[in-house]
Structure 1
Amino acid sequence: MPGHLIRKPDPCIYSQFLLMQLNQPVTWDNPDVRILSGGVEQYTYDLTADTEYTVEITVHNSSRDKPADGTAVSIRWIEFGAGSQTRHAIADRVANVPIWPGTAIVTVPWRTPATPGHYCIEVELAHPNDGNPTNNLGWNNTQVHAAQSPVDRSIRIFNRYPRDCPPVDEGGGPYLDYRRAIYGWGALGAIGALLYAHVGHEGGMGHSYAVSVLAFYAIAAAAGLVFYRLHNERLRPRAAVARAATGGHADCHRVEVTVDSYEFDDATGKDFHPDTVFAGRTVVWPAHVDPPSFIFQPGEAFRDVTFHTDAPDDPGPPGHFNINVRQGGEPSGGVTLTITRGG
């Protein structure tokens, strides 16, 4: 039976990258990741070097039909910032997740690195029969600072493409062209053979009916492959001209940084409403990142930007700020800063 007709499990976690692709606001203080010490939740990035903590992961299953038994849970730490590419394994676990709204809790010990610094927890799920793998990756990337108005904090943004941009195949790429030729042009050729036979020319090619259909199918598919090859050769010079017009800087090296104060407010069942859960929120105090956008230079591994806010001096609740980073228009990562106030 075709896979898309079979009900499948869907293990998932709060995934900032999927939500950003859907143009939804996110927080990097992941609601499905907690850091514990002696059973007490800790501020994720107010941790002590070379100290053992417990990482607690909540794994969900959005399927109402199939439990997600045997879900692989990979927990890693990466250097604090946006877009860091170097992963260090903490542990791999297996979770049996019941159908929605059931969850599974995974806990692993983690000894923080001996070198003081700030680190991000990355959780990735995998299941051999996953119905939706796009919601399997989540980060927990936060910092806490005491307010000293004005507040200036450095945020490191890593270059996802420190060398050249990944190649982009014009017209959809060879795999898509292959499918178009085989399933599109070839199918049209087979239909043409059927019509040819229908009007009384079954023996027009000197072969059996089945061989005639296969011959038309193969000829049409081959013609489709030749067409896409020639078509893409014409497109490549145009793409080169477009890159030259932008000064030689490819889009994949352009970085854009935004700031908001969105806080995730989960709800289940009838209480869940997207307009409420994902309601955007502007910054609680005047805040910005300098620079808000830039272009990585060739070979540049990372760049530090500065977050600035004018926190009120009087006592009051803390302020939460999400710094969201896109590189080449794609989500690259982010940081949630919590600025506490006296009182």
Structure 2
Amino acid sequence: MVTGSSDCTVKIWDLLTVTPITTFKRHIKPITSIAISPCCRYVASGANDNLIYIWDVSNLKSSSTVEPLTKIQLHKQPITALEFLPAHLHKFWINKTPLLASASQDGSIRISNIISGQSVANFDGHTKMVTCLRWSGNQSIFDEGKEYFGPILYSSSRDTMIKIWSLPHKQMIKSVKAHAHWINGISLNTSYLMNCSAFFPSSNFTYTGSIDAYFQASEEIWNKQTKNIRSELLVSSSDDNTLVLWDFNNESKKIAQLLGHQQPVCGVSFSPDARYICSASFDSSLRLWCGTTGKYLHVFRGHVAAVYQLAWSSDSRLVVSCGKDSTIKTWDVQSKKLRKDLPGAADELYCIDWAINGQYIGSGGKDKIVRIWSR
């Protein structure tokens, strides 16, 4: 597990021993974004110092003096989002090394070579802070009768727009006014699959050091798992209290507007099997929606203050959430009931994640403590 903090450090944790393996100290302002490469060899950290550092974690030893592989200076304001190019699109990697998409408060988006630190493509178009980046899993997209080949990047911003960018063409394909207020985040129904890559739970892949075998396994998992997904869908969440479900592969079709939350929606995520969408809101609730139609299914109530973030278990049966009330709660999607209430934090909890193997939940918050929970 990797964590970033306002103390300007990045830490790598061993979940078996529940201890930090090493600490990266180079940023001089609070860490705002962390990304792990699909091959798990690189970690990217972005901060309020406008810098991105790339760390090679393939052969770590306990040390506080680890040097970064690369320092990337491409933004003029704090970093807000980082996203590595997926592994099944490895033919667009450079020398078998993934490209990195980064975004900033200045509205800029940069695609970087993480070895040289140089920009591969510059995307400028948002007028306010970019809040989220997501690579499409598809290798092409249609817009107004024209097909664009190669990696496609989605971005959301506080300017209320969702923009679609083509990496090979180095240009914006589409710009859509998605909401009446800030967009806080976006999620794809293929996001979990791309993040897991060859390590997807149903895969028997074991990484032995062969990057070519890893690439092959990533392609096989992508092709196998996406057979059951009719189209890549995107859901966006906003301060206007709504979510919108989109099919941008079908001429930017707006499938549904998801109504029900009474306050800003700050977290949203598709389930790993793409059947459900779950959203978290300042109204102290989580809501469950159909992942293909956007139909409302259920509301989870139990938090007594704003819910900040959520994460799915790898089997899509459970959702875990955290928020302002200092508690972690797990919810059973099938029974629609609260499974467990996990108190213990001394203050607000800002982030939560579920390990791919389904055995561990990691959380962090205002009390400066990282907690690891065993399922």
Please report the TM-score for the alignment, with normalisation by the length of structure 1: 0.23
Higher relative contact order (CA 8 A, sep 6+): 1
Please report the TM-score for the alignment, with normalisation by the length of structure 2: 0.22
Instruction: Select the structure that is richer in strand.
Output: 2
